[in-house]
């Protein structure tokens, strides 16, 4: 596993933020001595409905799902939060979830194989890192659509809107909080 060079660590008692280099020297807060924890990161994971039957699967099964981490495998870690984004005509956020395993190379779980249109894509899981995602909220009936994100002063800067190629995209904490806020407004 690659080191978390861009990770920061935070003291849960006093809030001090410590770099990976400092953490490698001492795993305790330099100010108050509390054990440091890695700061959570936030991500967008994108699927293409023409290639992967995410919508079919989520209607049948809301259990954990295996996702490629073709990008940022060195940064994505257990407990990070993820917004699930569909590409295509009705692009947008359709669920949020949590990463429950660190990225490793493992074959695709057989349960998910049938949802891939192109069976060759299944073999990508043998070559690339992947994680398991647990869904926290699914909003397929009232998604947060791309159009709304593009017009939002905070979300218009999202990495996925600027360069939409790929599976995994970083999100700032501010963007994550805004997604949650808009999702909650949608449910009212
Ligand atoms: Zn501290």
Distance 28 CA to ligand 1 centre (A): 8
Could you tell me if 34 and 91 lie in one domain?
no
Residue 112 is assigned to a structural domain of this protein: yes
Residue 1 is assigned to a structural domain of this protein: no
- Identify the domain containing residue 15 by its residue range: 8-38
Could you tell me if 24 and 105 lie in one domain?
no
Could you tell me if 60 and 150 lie in one domain?
yes
CATH of the domain at 160: 3.10.590.10
Spatial neighbors of 14 by CB under 8 A, at least 6 apart, are: 29, 31, 32, 34
Alpha-carbon span 58 to 18, nearest angstrom: 39
Residue 49 is assigned to a structural domain of this protein: yes
What is the CA 117 to chain-centroid distance, rounded? 23
Q: Give yes or no for a contact between 20 and 4, defined as CB atoms under 8 angstroms apart.
A: yes
- pLDDT tier for residue 188 given thresholds of 50, 70 and 90: low
pTM (global) more than 0.85: yes
Distance 110 CA to ligand 1 centre (A): 45
Residue 145 is assigned to a structural domain of this protein: yes
Could you tell me if 62 and 133 lie in one domain?
yes
Residue 17 is assigned to a structural domain of this protein: yes
How many folded domains does the chain comprise? 2
Position 66 pLDDT exceeds 90: yes
Distance 136 CA to ligand 1 centre (A): 30
Distance 118 CA to ligand 1 centre (A): 50
Q: What is the mean pLDDT of residues 81-104?
A: 97
Could you tell me if 106 and 156 lie in one domain?
yes
Q: Give yes or no for a contact between 97 and 82, defined as CB atoms under 8 angstroms apart.
A: yes
* Least confident range of 7-11, 91-95, 137-141: 7-11
Distance 15 CA to ligand 1 centre (A): 6
Distance 6 CA to ligand 1 centre (A): 20
Distance 98 CA to ligand 1 centre (A): 26
Phi, psi angles (nearest 5°) of residue 81: -105, 145
Distance 108 CA to ligand 1 centre (A): 41
Nearest by Cα to 51 from 124, 104, 101, 158: 124
Alpha-carbon span 78 to 41, nearest angstrom: 10
Nearest by Cα to 71 from 40, 46, 96: 46
Distance 35 CA to ligand 1 centre (A): 8
Distance 177 CA to ligand 1 centre (A): 25
Distance 14 CA to ligand 1 centre (A): 4
Could you tell me if 123 and 101 lie in one domain?
yes
Distance 25 CA to ligand 1 centre (A): 16
Over residues 52-63, the pLDDT tens digits come to: 999 999 999 899
Over residues 26-49, the pLDDT tens digits come to: 999 999 999 999 989 999 999 999
Strands 92-99, 144-145: pairing is antiparallel
Could you tell me if 69 and 15 lie in one domain?
no
Distance 13 CA to ligand 1 centre (A): 5
- How open is the CA angle 2-40-123, to the nearest 5 degrees? 45
Residue 2 is assigned to a structural domain of this protein: no
Distance 132 CA to ligand 1 centre (A): 31
Could you tell me if 47 and 125 lie in one domain?
yes
Could you tell me if 84 and 163 lie in one domain?
yes
Could you tell me if 83 and 97 lie in one domain?
yes
Could you tell me if 125 and 59 lie in one domain?
yes
Q: Give yes or no for a contact between 135 and 96, defined as CB atoms under 8 angstroms apart.
A: yes
Residue 137 is assigned to a structural domain of this protein: yes
């Amino acid at each position: 596993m690659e080191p978390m060079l861009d990770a920061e660590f935070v003291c849960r008692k006093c809030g001090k933020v410590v770099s990976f280099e400092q953490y490698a020297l001492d795993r305790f807060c330099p100010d108050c001595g509390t054990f440091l924890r890695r700061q959570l990161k936030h991500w967008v994971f994108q699927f293409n409905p023409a290639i992967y039957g995410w919508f079919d699967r989520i209607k049948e099964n809301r259990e954990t799902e295996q996702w490629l981490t073709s990008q940022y495998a060195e940064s994505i870690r257990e407990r990070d939060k993820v917004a699930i984004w569909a590409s295509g005509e009705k692009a947008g956020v359709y669920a949020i979830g949590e990463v429950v395993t660190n990225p490793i190379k493992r074959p695709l779980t057989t349960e998910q194989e049938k949802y891939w249109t192109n069976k060759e894509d299944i073999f990508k899981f043998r070559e690339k890192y992947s994680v398991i995602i647990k869904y926290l909220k699914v909003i397929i009936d009232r998604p947060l659509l791309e159009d709304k994100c593009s017009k939002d002063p905070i979300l218009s800067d999202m990495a996925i809107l600027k360069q939409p190629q790929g599976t995994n995209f970083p999100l700032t904490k501010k963007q994550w909080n805004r997604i949650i806020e808009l999702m909650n407004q949608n449910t009212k």
